[in-house]
Chains A and B, each alone.
Chain A
Amino acid sequence: IQMTQSPSTLSASVGDRVTITCRASHTITNNWLAWYQQKPGKAPSLLLYKASTLESGVPSRFSGSGSGTEFTLTISSLQPDDFATYYCQQYNSYSPLTFGGGTKVDIK
């Protein structure tokens, strides 16, 4: 399953509502989709799984939605700590697991 994220880069300001889209080449059953945040020089960090379940400790301004082949990650009010790159990952099939190409959120 190929994962395509859009946009690849997004410029936004603190306080903005931000939406990132992840499209799958085939249907993802049971919403087996995760979102990660990665900051420069650091390992990725899990934000959400099963498309919309927030990982423990992740701020509630992050939310996920979608089903089938289209999923979105929304940050309701962008904070300075949120400038990072975001990846989706499908785990509907582990042969192979696949990630989206990433969306870099930078300062406008």
Chain B
Amino acid sequence: EVHLVQSGAEVKKPGESLKISCKASGYTFTNSWIGWVRQMPAKGLEWMGIINPADSDFRYSASLQGQITMSVDKSINTAYLQLNNLKASDTAVYYCARQHDSASGAYLFYFGAWGQGTLVTVSS
């Protein structure tokens, strides 16, 4: 069974940086892209970017360019999201999600498995 387990909640101050982990199990880590999606309080879903664990190819949302870095460590089947220069408006639940099996090998990104979410609070 596929599992994505994320790191725990974080409280940060404005201007600080954040790194969230997403550990995958139950499938071959390098076979599926990993996406990151955030959800601000009582709001909808916002796509942040995607990364291919096989070669670290990535695509970022234009609105987050310069603030976001995605990476993977294939040796421990873990993907990371780093967000720099945090603002209060970055307060959200952050999710990692795995590209669906039926889309594997294609540039089709819908997500069949999700992490449990990581609550990030940015406050002075």
The residues of A with any CB-CB pair to B shorter than 8 Å are: 32, 34, 36, 38, 43-46, 49, 55, 87, 89, 91, 94-102
Nearest A-chain residue to B116, judged by Cβ: A43
- A101 pairs with B110, CB closer than 8 A: no
Can you give 18 A-B contacts (C-beta < 8 A)? A43-B97, A46-B100, A46-B110, A46-B112, A49-B102, A49-B110, A87-B45, A94-B109, A95-B62, A96-B47, A96-B61, A96-B62, A97-B109, A99-B37, A99-B44, A99-B45, A99-B46, A101-B44
**Once the chains are docked, how many angstroms separate the CA of A34 from the CA of B95?**
17
- A99 pairs with B47, CB closer than 8 A: yes
Q: How many residues of B contact A (CB 8 A)?
A: 25
Interface core residue of A55, A91, A97, A100 (most chain B CB under 10 Å): A97
- B112 pairs with A97, CB closer than 8 A: no
Q: How far is the CB of A6 from chain B (nearest CB, A)?
A: 14
Nearest B-chain residue to A97, judged by Cβ: B47
Q: How far is the CB of B18 from chain A (nearest CB, A)?
A: 19
Nearest A-chain residue to B111, judged by Cβ: A46
- A34 pairs with B114, CB closer than 8 A: no
Q: How far is the CB of B120 from chain A (nearest CB, A)?
A: 15
**Once the chains are docked, how many angstroms separate the CA of A43 from the CA of B115?**
7
Contact with A along B79-112 (1 / 0, CB 8 A): 0000000000000000101001011000111111
